[in-house]
Structure 1
Amino acid sequence: MSLRLPARHPDRLRIDTSLAIVNIVLLLIFFFLVAGQETRIPRDLRLAQTSRIAPAALPSPILEIRSDEDWLLDGKPVSPELLPAALAGSDEVVHLMIDRDAKANLLIAALGHPELVRREVRLVTLRAGPNQ
């Protein structure tokens, strides 16, 4: 028993990709229109400034980072290696103060410290006085 199927026409099997190409091109045009726009920074933008005040007026414990090896915990010098022992009796929150002109790598390295990874870290900023 033989079964005769209709002959295939090569023109009907061909998939038309022109609509897909047009869609991709339009999506790329929209993407580059949105991504290529300039971000305008407001002219009245003011960055936070820090000033030195007494550590007693700040929340406790507060870790002030001035450089890679110059760290102060509640106003007293502490080395990064001794930070776990210095924070042993405190709660889970550490207030971190760093100058706005410090390099971002300094903040990232400090936040990667093993003792600070396990704790909640809150960044502290100080409002500059009227004479600054």
Structure 2
Amino acid sequence: MKRRNLLIAVILLGAAVIFYRAFGTPDQLATGAAMVNVTVPELSETANEGEAAFNRLCASCHGRNAAGQDGVAPPLIHKIYEPGHHGDASFLLAARNGVRAHHWPFGNMPPVEGITDPEIAEIVVYVRELQRANGIY
């Protein structure tokens, strides 16, 4: 009888954990608000082109100036995406192939439809210039 009660308690606890992770708490509801404040420097010509491509292809999820959107997608202006942890090639692969969720609770990122390698390269220049202006090296 004690084992049966213990098994029921473990099952209920597991269900509660799954429910919490799936739905969170009311204060965790998505707002779409920018997740970080981003200082925008004077951009190079390539970064300006990258900004235009980013705004067209990435900002709907990652937000204006790559500041992320609460409940939608992470900020790219964050130490997690510094060059030593996520090299430039990781942005190329993410845009081409999508990414399984591994740092943030936003779910998987799908591949970016219609993006070209030159656009990705310009976007990387843009993101790296924003990162440096915000203390991320």
TM-score scaled to structure 2, two decimals?
Answer: 0.27
Q: Which structure has the larger Rg over C-alpha atoms?
A: 1
Higher strand proportion:
1
TM-score scaled to structure 1, two decimals?
Answer: 0.27
